[in-house]
């Protein structure tokens, strides 16, 4: 699972989802809306998706086993990762649906 958080994978992930966003605009006949800032916004939304998963993954696989229990800080950290995932999915979906 750690390969998902490597820099090369994140760069390829963001590039692929940026291209998927551009293809979605193309098939929706929204040619004039294709520009670099929207591409970068879609790419950063997909990168933050990985960041949210990494936050939750690191909390439950590295921090909690060392402490031998769940502290409320761990719950809030994992909840923060879930919020990052939710906001990035919502942002990406909003960009494609517009």
Structurally, how many domains does the chain consist of? 1
pTM of the full structure: 0.77
Q: What is the mean pLDDT of residues 83-94?
A: 90
**Domain membership of residue 49 as a residue range:** 35-98
Q: Is residue 9 part of a domain?
A: no
Binning pLDDT at 50, 70 and 90, where does residue 79 land?
Answer: very high
CA 78 to CA 76: how far, in whole Å?
A: 5
13 within domain boundaries? no
Establish if 76 belongs to a structural domain: yes
Residue 4 lies in a domain: no
In a domain, 19, yes or no: no
Dist CA 98 CA 28 (whole Å): 10
pLDDT tens digits, residue range 11-43? 888 889 888 888 888 888 887 777 888 888 888
Q: Is residue 28 part of a domain?
A: no
Q: Does residue 67 lie in a domain region?
A: yes
In a domain, 8, yes or no: no
């Amino acid at each position: 699972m750690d390969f998902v958080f490597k820099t090369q994978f994140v760069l390829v992930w963001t590039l692929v989802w940026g291209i998927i966003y551009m293809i979605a605009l193309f098939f929706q006949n929204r040619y004039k809306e294709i520009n670099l800032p929207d591409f970068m916004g879609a790419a950063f939304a997909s990168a933050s998706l990985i960041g949210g998963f990494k936050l939750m993954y690191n909390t439950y696989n590295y921090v909690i086993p060392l402490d031998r229990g769940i502290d409320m800080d761990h719950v809030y950290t994992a909840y923060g990762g879930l919020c990052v995932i939710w906001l990035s999915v919502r942002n990406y979906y909003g960009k494609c649906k517009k």
